[in-house]
Amino acid sequence: MASCSVAPKEAESEHTAIPNWVALPRDITANILLRLDTIEIVTSVRYVCPLWWNIFKDPLMWRNVQMTSLGDFYEQAIEICEYAIKQSCGHLENIFIDGFATDDLLQFIADNASNLRGLVLINCHGISDEGFCQAVKKLPLLEALNILWFNLSKDSLEVVGQCCPLLTILVFARSGSNCIIDGGLDDEAFVIAKTMVGLRDLKIPGNSLTNAGLLAILAGCPHLEILDIRACYNLHLDESLKKKCIDQIKDLLLPEPVYDDYWDDDRVTYLDSVIDDDSYDPYD
């Protein structure tokens, strides 16, 4: 019988050896580090070793700033965010901020990130319409905008449409918007239809638009491929309007009825009948 060239203990040692992360090629290390939250990078990760410190001297490592896992650093969040933006030296392309942005910070972003392509703002109640409008006028290359769970008016949307001609993605969900407004309100829908002709992806769950607003969007945004109008309960979709949506939109999420008289005898909603899947949950 042939003898094994590696002793059992040596084989086990090789199998369980801790990988030498410092020995990884620099580009692979950089690719891994890019996936971390900016708070972690600024406060700890870049201090791990000289290699990682040097990697983060490259402005291109700060093209994406993600400020979500604030932890114990909430009070320093704005300072850390501004530091990261400065490190990008104008190369910032995408920024994701959850919960702490203000008018001043947004203005700082606009003044130092003229190449910004993507902006995500969540629960940023410190941002006003005036501050938002002043900042977005300086971001003509913006392609994707997410505004979630804080209230900006149709005026802010109009400035976006007028000043960001490359915009293809808009997510706009107001704080406390998931309700039925008597008679509906189409102001925001009309602004989107009039000023955002290049949209391909529109998500406005909980919006107060009516059938008139939806028809305006379908006509004014001919390139639209994705449309999310869940919880838009002022819509009353007849078969003709449903068919128009289905024919024009590849990925369509419709509002699910909330009233008993929307159910048929088999307890199937009109949304179920559209997609032919009774088990579908649009909020999953």
Give the 3-state secondary structure of residue 279. Answer: coil
- Asked which of 19-23, 75-79, 263-267 is least confident by mean pLDDT, the reply is 263-267
Q: How far apart are CA 160 and CA 283, in angstroms?
A: 28
> Which band of pLDDT confidence, cut at 50, 70 and 90, is reported for residue 263?
very low
Residue 202: its pLDDT value, please? 98
Residue 18: its pLDDT value, please? 64
| Residue 20 pLDDT greater than 90, yes or no | no
Per-residue pLDDT, averaged over 51-71, amounts to 94
Per-residue pLDDT, averaged over 43-50, amounts to 94
Q: How far apart are CA 264 and CA 244, in angstroms?
A: 23
> Which band of pLDDT confidence, cut at 50, 70 and 90, is reported for residue 270?
very low
Give the 3-state secondary structure of residue 176. Answer: coil
> Where is pLDDT greater, at 70 or 106?
106
Q: Which residue, among 258, 257, 254, 250, has the nearest Cα to 241 in the 3D structure?
A: 254
Dig out the tokens for 213 from the structure.
Answer: 């607003």
| Residue 76 pLDDT greater than 80, yes or no | yes
> Which band of pLDDT confidence, cut at 50, 70 and 90, is reported for residue 13?
low
Burial annotation 195-227 (CB, 10 A radius, 16+ → b, else e)? bbebbbbbbbbbbbbbeebbbbbbebbeebeeb
| Residue 3 pLDDT greater than 90, yes or no | no
pLDDT in tens, 211-251: 999 999 999 999 999 999 999 999 999 999 999 999 999 99
Dig out the tokens for 175 from the structure.
Answer: 């704080």
- Asked which of 18-32, 83-97, 199-213 is least confident by mean pLDDT, the reply is 18-32
Residue 253: its pLDDT value, please? 97
Residue 280: its pLDDT value, please? 34
- CA distances in angstroms from 110 to 5, 37, 61, 142, listed in the order given: 63, 21, 19, 11
Residue 71: its pLDDT value, please? 84
Give the 3-state secondary structure of residue 190. Answer: helix
Q: Give me the percent of the chain exceeding a pLDDT of 90.
A: 74
Per-residue pLDDT, averaged over 153-160, amounts to 97
Phi-psi region of 149 (alpha: psi -120 to 50; beta: other; left: phi over 0): left
